[in-house]
Amino acid sequence: MSWTSRGATKSCLSLILALSGVFATRLYAQSDAGELKVLVADSSGAVIPAAAVKLINTGTETSASQSTSSDGYAVFSPIRGGDYGLEVSHDGFKTVKVQGVTIDVNGKRFEKVVLQPSSKAETVEVTAEPAGFRLSS
């Protein structure tokens, strides 16, 4: 193989790698998914680890569940854009239901849920603000 052929082969491979990166970026950008980050805290502002967070798609009634991490967060990603509800619970606290959580395509949304202490099982229903607090990607 001559030096000219090797140079052409390297150039061709470089072009293929560069184009595959462009196409991969375009495919990712066209995703129909977003992200929801939920912080669970008590009325004093202290985070609540191991809280049960259930995300429910209001259109399909499908759900996903997670427990909050040691820093009080539960992250749902990727999730399809659409309208959702949240149900958050932990022993010793009233269960909170949040409605009207909209996830935009390629969007990131943050929801803070505050649990109130309870000596018995109770449920509190909350409606999320339509705009919420959104982080741009």
Residue with the bigger pLDDT between 127 and 87: it is 87
- What percentage of the chain carries pLDDT values higher than 90? 62
Task: Provide the whole-model pTM.
Answer: 0.68
Average pLDDT over residues 82-88: 97
- Residue 14, pLDDT score: 65
The angle at the Cα of 39, spanning 45 to 25, to the nearest 5 degrees, equals 150
Average pLDDT over residues 91-116: 96
Average pLDDT over residues 85-111: 96
Which residue bears the tokens 């950008």?
A: 29
Strand partners, 97: 87, 125
Average pLDDT over residues 24-47: 82
